[in-house]
Every structure is written in structure tokens, then in C-alpha cells.
Structure 1
């Protein structure tokens, strides 16, 4: 197909002009959609409803603010390099991010009043460092965001007029917390306040899918664990069940903005209970469940390149937890099986790790599971979304049978 420069001086009929504008708009919309879309696992397209999705509000900053534009271009270059074999444009990315730093420093040093545009640039800078795997270096941006929100009157105040911006701040804060093993800078209460705002605007998932939903499975050992861990486990299991139903058309699609907000609250609840870098629970089962729920969470937090960020700390903790598991009870072995398979879904390194594969083979033999379908049946009782997790799970099953 050949391309030609369109000269408006030439005689182009109205129908042709309309078609040209339509094709130009399609290209623009694709670019805008990539830059502004909340990053969900692509397998959730059948489960989520993007009608009225407000994330496109965020992309306007790219068109009205030079610093935000340069940062978006730099981050896009990094993401593209993650998706191709021949990497190019690194110097261009560095040039664009340098422009961003220069422009934002000029504003901050000139005592310009903090506004939503400046905060949007800082969010973009934190995302840039995240895709560089420079979490220690990028953490200063998260700290800056927290301070700016405080100066603006707090999360609730900012969320009244910029709820999508606040949601992106919370997402960045949670992702940095999981990678660094530290507490979040924004609080669980902040995440809950934002969640209430989102629910008022887009609806409540629990009410939306309450009719016809079954009670989530509660393993016998669950009642012996702290109440907050019980509650998180039940809520995550319920969310997974709702996603499965929506994917198969058995229940209505979930509003994407509310789903994302609910997911962030679950993440803040997990970190509020135990940070990955802090003291871990002495109870082997509680530790395994907390790590499994965290692994479940990160499978729904892909980056701008649609990939799950490698988390070395989480991988190490999961490996240690799997080796520490003991007990021949059916329910104990089932929770170990789930932890192994959800762990493999959260990290490709775990899915091919010799110890992980060996532990998987040992567990499926103990449970006398002969087929992948039998493994699926057990996993379906726990937080497991078939569309998102089955591919990695089946790969681990195949590796286990080859060993």
C-alpha cells in the first residue's frame, strides 16, 4: 500500500475528506487509548465494562502540558523497547525525560502553586522510573505526591475534582510499596475514601453482582487465622468468582473504574497487614495465604507495556514459604497447591524454578490429581481467575509432569 501527502489544494470530494478524517481519528484514538488506559490484564476484556471510563481524562495533560508530554514520550519509548528485540531510542528517551526534569524544576523553584497538572507530571515521572526498575530513585516522586496532596487538603479534597488522578497516585504508591517491601505512603483510609468516591460515580461491584452470587469457599483452617486475613481472603475469593462469572457471561460485566479501585483497596489492606520487607507472620499458613493473595494482586497490575513487573522480594518470600510448608491435611495441601500456582502466574521465574516445579509435583501427587482439569477444580475454590491465570498454571502442570 502506497502513502501519499494530502494537498488540500487538490480537488477532493466531501466523501473522501470524511474518510480521511475518520482514518486520522482512528489513529489518534489508538494512541490516546494506549497512553491513558488503566492497565488491566488484557484477558479481562470480556469481564470489564469500559463504558464511561474516565481514565481518558488523564491524557489531556499530555496535550496541554509540555513536561507531561516529554515524560509520556520517554515512558512510551521504554515500553516499546520491552516489546521488541531490537531496542532503539534510548537516547531520545533520556532527552525527553531531561526536558521533563528541567521544566518541573523550574515550576517548583518559582513557587508556582501546586495544581493537578504538576501532580500529573510527577505521577508520570514515577511511572517512568518504575519502567526503568529504578524504584529507589523514583520513590522521591511518590514522596512528593504525598506531600502535594497533603498541601491540597488531603485525598478526599483532591478526589472531588480529580478522582482519576488520585487513583493513579494510589496505584503508583502501591506498586512502589510492593517492590520496595515498605509501607505505603498513602494510608488504607486514603484508599477507602477514594473508593467511596469512585463507587458514588460508577457504582458498587458488590451490589451490582450480589444477586445470583454464591458464597465464597472458606477452607476449614481459615477460622483459626486473624479476622482481617479471613476477611481479605473471602473478599478476594469473591472478586475472583465474580470475574469468572462475568467472563463467561453468567453475570454482568464489572465497571472497570470500580474494579480498579476495589483492587487498590485490597492491595492497601494486604500491605497494611504485612509489608513484604517487614516482619512476616509466624504461622506458616497465614504467611502463605498473605503471599498468595499478594501474588494474585500483582497479576492484575501490569505496566504500560502490559507486563507484570518482576518482584524479586516477593519471589524470594514465596520460595521460602513453599519450603516451610508442612502438614499432610487435605486443606493444607490444597492451599499450598494454590500458592504454588498463583505464584507461577505472578512470576515467570517461579513457573520455571526447579524447586517450584518439584514442590508442585510433590503436592499434586499427594492430592492424587491426575489431570489438569482436576487441578483446575481445586484452584477454582480459591482466588483464581481462569482467563488470567490458566495459561501459567497449565505451564507449571506440564513442567511438573516432565520432571
Structure 2
């Protein structure tokens, strides 16, 4: 039978994590409501949240086949373009994404996209589309394809950070971000999205410390906005600045963003093309400038904790050790303090990074001291 507690916890954990968001209750979310008055949504939820059966078990597959049958009936009826039908197609798309079937997920996302076009555009359907936008971003990263929607489709009133039209900051805190090492180190093409990630990091750290817990809808929309901005921003291939450096920074920011867009059990989604690009850029990079060395150190560590590295990580540990040595970072406390100038949220990143440091790097510096 459906494990309602699992469903409730998943919706709350993903859509409004308590470390950042104020509690609104699971019944406020459309996806929970749909489960109780739409058969197709109930069937897909049953497949996703069976108490003891895995998603590929005969029982789970039976429920998904029921969901497909029921949604096809709805799509053939007068309700084909209703918000409810669109939301159910989106929920099935999310199921496919959660369980690693990008081909099926892309089929259903294409269906949602066509329905959106027939309904007059994405901006009119924000409540229905927020989870599909997340799926859109993740499928673009997984397939190396262009997303169906864009940052322009995200309602501006739900974006938490102030995003200026130009690069010139207008407030003291913006000036501090602008002068920090990361935006000053990257090519101009990346600077604004770097500032967006720094703003997001600052907002989440403040929320976690109890300063104005965030509205869950605004939290989700802001994550979606930053995700699209990262997809839309690429270092120019003709840039005279070292493109490996800029590529590495952009991929590390994608990793940073991914740590807030987890799936079931808070497992991070893995994107093979991104891993390949990150590994290639990280292995090729060599910096002697101290500021850029610190950027690379942050990028490599973020890559590690955001699932951008897999398999043999000997090269990663060796590079981090060399950089830490050059930067005179000997203890985790020193590392943690240095990372505060970067996209880094203590509640999300600190424990895992410290565990990695203690397990692989700390002993080098203990022996040296």
C-alpha cells in the first residue's frame, strides 16, 4: 500500500527543506492534493512510494502501467488541457526522473511543453510547472541538450535575490560580493551568474541561521532560476582567458546548485556528461596565481561533495593536497574560513567536506606539523 508518510516527507524535504524554509504543511502542495483526487496521480505515487517494493518490482510496474493508461484516457478527453491533467503528466515525468529513466522523462517533458504552448505559455502556469522546470534542468544536464524553458519563464516576484541588469553593484553587500575573489577571477561572461550563486549562498546561510526562513515557493523558483542561468551561461570559446579555468568554475557552480536539487533519500542526481567535462577540466588545470589557486581548491572540493567525481580520485586528492599546501591551509577550520568567500552553504556542504578532509587530507598536514 502507499506509504503516505514517505510521500509527505519527500514533498516537504524536496520542496521546502526545513533548514531553509518555513513550514507550510504538506497539504498545501498541489502534488500531495493530486494524489487523493486523481487516479493517475495516485497510481504513479503508489509506484514511487510502496512500503517494501522497489520501483522496478512487478507491483510498482503494474501501478505505473495503470498511471499511463489513466493519463492517456485523460489526454483523450475534454480535460486534456486542464491544469490537473498537466500536473499529472508532470508528476509522471518526475517519477521517471527520480528513477533514472531519462528517455521516458524526456517524452513526458515534451508532452508538458506542448501542453504549455497550447495553454498560452509558461508564465501563466507557475504552480503547475515548478517541478517540471527542475526536471527540465536535470534532463538538459543529463542529455547535454537545450532546456525547454528558460530563466525568463520564472516569475520575477518569486526570485529571492536581487539581480541587477548590469555588473555595477548598487549596495554595500553587493559591492562586497562583486569584489570577492570568484567574480574577479572569471571571464566577464560568467561574472553575473557567479554573483547569482554567491547571492543564493548568502541567502541560504542567513535562512539557516534563523534569519527569515524562506517561502517554499520562492525557494523553489530561485533554485530553478539559478539552474537556468547556469545552463544559459557559457564561457566564450574565443576568450583569451584560460577556458579550462572558466569551464571548471561553471561546472563547480552546477555542482553547487545540484546539492539542493536532490531526489529520494536526499541522493544527488548524477549527470555523466557533466562529470566527464568536470574531470577533463580539473585534470588539465594548473594555476600559480594564489587567488586562482583558491578558486580551483573550492571548485575541486565542491566537485567532490556534489557527485562530479567518480571512480579513482587519487588525482583529486593529490591536487587538493598540493593546493592546500600552496595556500597554507593546514586545518579544517582554516579551510572552512577560506570557503566562506565562495558559493558554500554550511548546512549543506560543511559536514561532508570536513569528513572528506579528515579522511583523506588531514593526516598529510598532521605529519608535516
Q: Is the structural similarity TM-score above 0.5?
A: yes
Deviates more, 1:378-387 or 1:118-127: 118-127
Equivalence for 2:320: 360
Q: Which residue of 2 aligns with 1:11?
A: none
1:148 aligned residue: 115
Cα deviation digits, residues 360-384 of structure 1 (max 9, x gap) = 1121111121101111111111000
Q: CA deviation at 1:37?
A: 2.9
Q: 2:14 aligns with which of 39, 61, 86?
A: 39
- Are the aligned partners of 2:244 and 2:284 in contact in 1 as well (CA < 8 Å)? yes
| C-alpha distance in structure 2 between counterparts of 1:190 and 1:32, whole Å | 28
Equivalent position of 1:311 in the other structure: 271
1:295 to 226, 244, 255: 255
For 1:63, the equivalent position in structure 2 comes to: 36
Separation of aligned partners in 2, 1:273 and 1:237: 16
Partner of 2:302: 342
Partner of 2:367: none
- TM-score if structure 1 supplies the norm length? 0.78
Instruction: Give the conservation status (yes or no) of the 8 Å contact 1:292–1:339.
Output: yes
How many angstroms does 1:65 deviate by?
Answer: 0.8
Label 1:370 to 1:379 Cα distance change in 2 as closer, same or farther (>3 A): same
CA root-mean-square deviation: 3.2
Where does residue 176 of structure 1 map in the other structure? 139
Structure with more relative contact order (C-alpha pairs < 8 Å, separation 6 or more): 1
Q: Is the 8 A contact 1:123 1:172 kept in 2?
A: no
Shift of 1:135: 0.7
Is 1:391 matched up with 2:322?
A: no
Superimposed CA distance per residue, residues 159-187 of structure 1 (whole angstroms, 9 cap, x where no aligned partner)? 2xxx3212122111112112212111112
Given candidates 222, 242, 248, the residue that maps to 2:203 is 242
Structure 2 distance, partners of 1:60, 1:103, is 17
1:248–1:34 distance in 2 versus 1, CA, 3 Å = closer
* 1:96-115 paired onto structure 2 within 5 Å: 96-110=63-77, 112-115=79-82
Q: Which of 248, 268, 286 is the aligned partner of 2:228?
A: 268
Q: Is the 8 A contact 1:274 1:280 kept in 2?
A: no
Following superposition, the deviation at residue 41 of structure 1 comes to: 8.6
After TM superposition, the structure 1 = structure 2 runs for residues 48-87 of structure 1, keeping only pairs within 5 Å, are: 48-51=21-24, 56-77=29-50
Deviation of 1:304 after TM superposition, in Å, equals: 3.3
- 1:386 deviates by 0.9
How many pairs were matched up? 352
What's 2:166 paired with? Answer: none
Residue of structure 2 equivalent to 1:257: 217
Could you tell me whether the CA contact under 8 Å between 2:44 and 2:64 is conserved in 1? yes
Q: Which residue of 2 aligns with 1:164?
A: 127
